[in-house]
Amino acid sequence: MTVAQLTLPTAQVSYDAPIEAELERLVELFALQPTLAAAYPLRWLAVQIFEGDEGLLAEVTAAGGPSLSAEITASMQRLQARYGEDLDITLVDQRYRFVHALAGKVLTRPGSVHDLTMSDRVDKVLTNRFLGVPFFFAMMWLVFKLTTDVAGPFVDWVDGVINGPISNWVIGLLGVLGLAGTWVESLLVGAVLAGVGGVLVFVPVLFALYFALAVLEDSGYMARAAFVMDRFMHRLGLHGKSFLPMIVGFGCTVPAIYATRTLDSPRDRLLTGLLVPFMSCSARLPVYVLVATIFFPAQAGLVIFGLYLTGVVMAIVIGMLLQKTLFRNQPPSPFVLELPPYRIPAWRTVWVQMWSRTASFVQKAWTIIFATSIVIWLLLAIPVRGAGQFAQAEMDQSAFALLARGVSPIFAPLGFGNWQSSGALTTGFVAKEVVVTTMLQTYHLDGGEAEGAVPTTFIEDVTGIFTSFGTAVVDALKVIPQMVGLNLGAAEDEEEFVPEGLATAIQANFAASSGGHAGLAALAFLVFVLLYTPCMVATAAARHEFGPRWIWVSIVGQFGVAWLAALIVFQGGRLLGLG
Amino acid sequence: MADLTIALAGNPNVGKSTVFNALTGMRQHVGNWPGKTVERKEGQLTLGTHTATIVDLPGTYSLTARSLEEQIARDFIIRERPDAVVNVLDVANLERNLYLTAQLLEMEVPLVLVLNMVDVADARGLKLDQPALAAALGVPVVMMAASRGQGMDELKRVLSQLIASAPAQARGGIA
Amino acid sequence: MMQPVQRTLPLAMAGTGARVRLVEVTGNQRSARRLAELGMIPGSHLTIMNDHGGTLLIAVGDTRLALGAGVAHSVLVSALD
Q: How many percent of chain B have pLDDT more than 70? A: 90
Name all chains with 3 or more CB-CB pairs below 8 Å to chain A. B, C
A162 Ramachandran zone, left/alpha/beta (phi>0; psi -120 to 50): alpha
Burial class (CB in 10 A: 0-12, 13-18, 19+), A202: buried
Which has the closest alpha carbon to B143: B132, B135, B154?
B154
Name all chains with 3 or more CB-CB pairs below 8 Å to chain B. A, C
Per-residue confidence (pLDDT) for residue A497, from 0 to 100: 53
Cα separation, A123 vs C16, in Å, equals 14
- Would you call C37 and B95 a contact, using CB atoms and an 8 Å cutoff? no
A140 Ramachandran zone, left/alpha/beta (phi>0; psi -120 to 50): alpha
Cα separation, A152 vs A155, in Å, equals 5
- Would you call A230 and C55 a contact, using CB atoms and an 8 Å cutoff? yes
| pLDDT tens column, B113-169 | 999 999 989 988 999 999 999 999 999 999 999 888 899 999 999 998 887 775 444
Work out how many domains chain A is built from and give that number.
2
- Would you call A6 and B134 a contact, using CB atoms and an 8 Å cutoff? no
Fold of the domain built from segment(s) C9-79: SH3 type barrels. (2.30.30)
Pairing relationship of beta strands A107-108 and B84-90 according to DSSP bridges: unpaired
Cα separation, A250 vs A253, in Å, equals 7
- To the nearest whole Å, the CA of C16 is away from the closest chain A CA by 11
DSSP state of A408: G
Nearest CB among A3, A106, A360 relative to B136 is that of A106
- Would you call A11 and B78 a contact, using CB atoms and an 8 Å cutoff? no
Chain mean position to CA B20: 9
Q: Domain residue spans in chain C? A: 9-79
Q: Are C39 and C46 in contact (CB under 8 A)?
A: no
For residue C45, the chain A residue with the least C-alpha distance is A114
- Residues of chain B found within 8 Å of residue C34, distances taken between Cβ atoms: 66
Query: Would an 8 Å CB–CB cutoff place C68 in contact with chain B?
Result: no
Query: Would an 8 Å CB–CB cutoff place B124 in contact with chain A?
Result: yes
Tell me if the pTM is above 0.90. Answer: no
Kindly state the helix (H) or strand (E) to which residue A575 belongs, with its residue range: helix A573-575
Q: Domain residue spans in chain B? A: 4-165
Q: Are A212 and A342 in contact (CB under 8 A)?
A: no
Q: Where are the alpha helices (DSSP H) in A325-457?
A: 347-381, 399-407, 419-430, 434-447
| pLDDT tens column, B83-105 | 999 999 999 999 999 999 999 99
Cα separation, B156 vs B162, in Å, equals 10
**DSSP letter string over B76-127?**
IIIII--SEEEEEEEGGGHHHHHHHHHHHHHTT--EEEEEE-HHHHHHTT-E
Q: Which domain range does residue A357 map to? A: 136-335+345-451+498-575
- Would you call B94 and C62 a contact, using CB atoms and an 8 Å cutoff? yes
Q: Are A408 and A422 in contact (CB under 8 A)?
A: yes
For residue B99, the chain C residue with the least C-alpha distance is C37
Do residue A163 and residue A82 come from a single domain?
no
Q: Among A60, A89, A106, where does a domain finish?
A: A106
Q: How many percent of chain C have pLDDT more than 70? A: 91
Kindly state the helix (H) or strand (E) to which residue B163 belongs, with its residue range: helix B152-165
Query: Would an 8 Å CB–CB cutoff place B95 in contact with chain C?
Result: yes
Do residue A318 and residue A250 come from a single domain?
yes
- Residues of chain A found within 8 Å of residue C69, distances taken between Cβ atoms: 231, 234
Which has the closest alpha carbon to A150: A491, A488, A486, A468?
A491
Per-residue confidence (pLDDT) for residue C12, from 0 to 100: 93
- Residues of chain C found within 8 Å of residue B93, distances taken between Cβ atoms: 61-63
Which has the closest alpha carbon to A108: B140, C39, B125, B118?
B125
- Residues of chain B found within 8 Å of residue A264, distances taken between Cβ atoms: 67
Per-residue confidence (pLDDT) for residue A286, from 0 to 100: 79
Cα separation, A430 vs A366, in Å, equals 12
Bridge partners (DSSP) of residue C48 are C58
φ, ψ at C64 (rounded to 5°):
-115, 130
- Would you call B95 and C39 a contact, using CB atoms and an 8 Å cutoff? yes
Q: Are A322 and A274 in contact (CB under 8 A)?
A: yes
Q: What is the number of other CB atoms lying within 10 angstroms of the CB of residue C2?
A: 3
Strands across the sheet containing C55-60: A336-338, C63-67, C55-60, C45-52, C19-25, C75-79, C9-10
Per-residue burial over A529-546, b if 16 or more Cβ lie within 10 Å, else e, is bbbbbbbebbbebbbebb
Assigned CATH for B4-165: 3.40.50.300
Query: Would an 8 Å CB–CB cutoff place C28 in contact with chain B?
Result: no
Assigned domain for A374 exists: yes
Nearest CB among A2, A4, A96 relative to B165 is that of A4
**Axis-axis angle for helices A419-430, A434-447 (nearest 10):** 150
Pairing relationship of beta strands A107-108 and B127-128 according to DSSP bridges: antiparallel
Which has the closest alpha carbon to C17: C42, C46, C43, C39?
C46
Residues of chain A with pLDDT under 50: 1-5, 445-453, 487-496
**For chain B, first and last CA: distance in Å?**
21
Burial class (CB in 10 A: 0-12, 13-18, 19+), C46: buried
Which has the closest alpha carbon to A2: B157, B7, C8, C36?
B157
- Would you call A127 and C61 a contact, using CB atoms and an 8 Å cutoff? no
φ, ψ at A108 (rounded to 5°):
-120, 135
Cα separation, A422 vs A572, in Å, equals 21
Q: Give the mean pLDDT of chain B.
A: 87
- What CATH number is given to the structural domain containing A30? 1.10.287.1770
- Residues of chain C found within 8 Å of residue A120, distances taken between Cβ atoms: 49, 59, 64
Nearest CB among C33, C34, C62 relative to B92 is that of C62
Assigned domain for A465 exists: no
Assigned domain for A124 exists: no
Which has the closest alpha carbon to B129: B118, B119, B120?
B118
Q: Where are the alpha helices (DSSP H) in A177-201?
A: 183-185, 194-200
Per-residue confidence (pLDDT) for residue A391, from 0 to 100: 65
Cα separation, A163 vs A172, in Å, equals 13
